[in-house]
Amino acid sequence: MSAVQAQEIQQRRGVQVVSPEIGGDNTVTFRLYAEDAHSVTVSGSWLGMGENLEMKKGSDGVWSATTKALEPSMYHYNFMLDGVSILDPRNPKALRDGTRYASTLIVPGKASDVFEVQDVPHGTIHKVWYDSPTLGLYRRMLVYTPAGYEDSKEKYPVLYLLHGGGGDEEAWSSLGRANNILDNLIAAGKAKPMLVVMTNGNELQTSSVTEWPTNTNVVDRGPARGGETREQTVDRVTKFPNSLVNDVIPYVEKHFRVIANSENRAIAGLSMGSMQTQITTMTNPGFFEYIGCFSLGIHFNDQFEIVSNEILIPGYDKYLETMDNKLFYTGCGTEDFCYEGVQTLRKKLDEHNFEYVYNETGGGHTWANWRTYLSDYAPRLFK
């Protein structure tokens, strides 16, 4: 029996299920009607890696569990029903993270206001297909234009915003809620009106998995990792940064009303996108006046060692002494597995007496932190 069928049965029997239910103390109660289930747990983004919240079954066949008080933020979760991951059938709000779908909830509070949908003018997200000769693909990106763009003749600055591993061009708008963040910051006068270009950083993908052609023979379009030479690794990790500079930016500057100079270009990325941000800026010095690196720095584990030694460290050593960017911003959670590498990046910047802004938060490698960093980074741009 599926979870949906179970919910239909419980409705006929008069069992009322509310899930999720946010308490006045910011605890959250989850409920699932699953009379025949043997075990049900909750896997949530507020929990540590591999942790689950156990649910208990009531006499009415409803399983329930209540969290500790959660900080105001957006969270995603799934029920594990006898070992099978399912959405919460009582919650209509869900999102896609790569190939995984999850239910979502927002715990209200001051920290959540910036990415909630507010009663303010809203910008528009354009789904744009463009040719990428660098990658030999016809690809898709999302472009946010601020409220008033369509009725204006004004030219705007641009932020190029890169996602992390496993994500795609929809990640920053769905999980990161970047359009809501920009809407609210611009309406409050805290950020300048700007375009935000959200690309697909997976160099072998045309677009998100939901847009792949049905006749594709490619099963796994993720970049290969095993058995590469150093030269192959460098070639692979520089493909998307090269496409960003050679294909994406020229397209945007031709087809949208933007100010086409370095003072009005910003770039930022999370995790894999932070690596791509560093590669792009270290191989194209002076192209961006504003640089943001979220939750990834200089690392020496696995093939990051090749990227760090072949590209990042030589680039920083060569260009930091003469770089005069208006902003270099980096942020990381204290529980993030990339924390040490971010501190290595900071040491490299300090070694060259290079000024930067550092935002250290609690928590780990999570969207809760990345939304916070974007909310702090965007108001600093184009001043």
Tokens (6 digits) for 138: 């016809």
Q: Is 199 in contact with 244 (CB distance < 8 Å)?
A: yes
Q: Is 146 in contact with 155 (CB distance < 8 Å)?
A: no
The predicted structure's pLDDT at residue 8: 56
The predicted structure's pLDDT at residue 21: 96
The predicted structure's pLDDT at residue 224: 41
Asked whether residue 94 carries a pLDDT value surpassing 70, the answer given is yes
Average pLDDT for 206-230: 61
Q: Is 331 in contact with 360 (CB distance < 8 Å)?
A: yes
**Crossing angle of the two packed helices 230-243 and 272-283, in degrees rounded to 10:** 80
Asked whether residue 214 carries a pLDDT value surpassing 70, the answer given is no
Cβ contacts of 24-27, under 8 Å, gap ≥ 24: 25/69, 26/69, 26/70, 26/71, 26/72, 26/107, 26/109, 27/66, 27/67, 27/68, 27/69, 27/70
The predicted structure's pLDDT at residue 100: 85
CATH classification of 124-380 is 2.40.50.140, yes or no? no
Burial status of residue 227 (CB atoms within 10 A of its CB: 0-12, 13-18, 19 or more) = exposed
Topology of domain 15-110, per CATH? Immunoglobulin-like (2.60.40)
User: Model confidence at 4, in pLDDT bands (50, 70, 90)?
Assistant: low
The predicted structure's pLDDT at residue 6: 52
CA torsion, ordered 193, 183, 94, 25, to nearest 10 deg: 130
Q: Which segments of the chain are extended strands (E)? A: 21-22, 28-33, 40-44, 53-54, 56-57, 62-66, 73-81, 84-86, 94-97, 100-107, 124-132, 137-145, 158-162, 195-198, 265-270, 290-294, 327-333, 357-361
Residue with token string 């989850």: 30
Asked whether residue 12 carries a pLDDT value surpassing 50, the answer given is no
Mean pLDDT (the chain) is 91
User: Model confidence at 111, in pLDDT bands (50, 70, 90)?
Assistant: confident
Closest CA to 199 of 225, 228, 173, 234: 173
User: What Rg do the C-alpha atoms of the chain give, in angstroms?
Assistant: 22
Average pLDDT for 61-74: 95
Asked whether residue 218 carries a pLDDT value surpassing 70, the answer given is no
Query: Domain residue spans in the chain?
Result: 15-110, 124-380
pLDDT, tens digit (0-9, with 9 covering 90-100), for 302-334: 779 999 999 999 999 999 988 889 999 999 999
For the full predicted model, state whether its pTM sits above 0.75.
yes
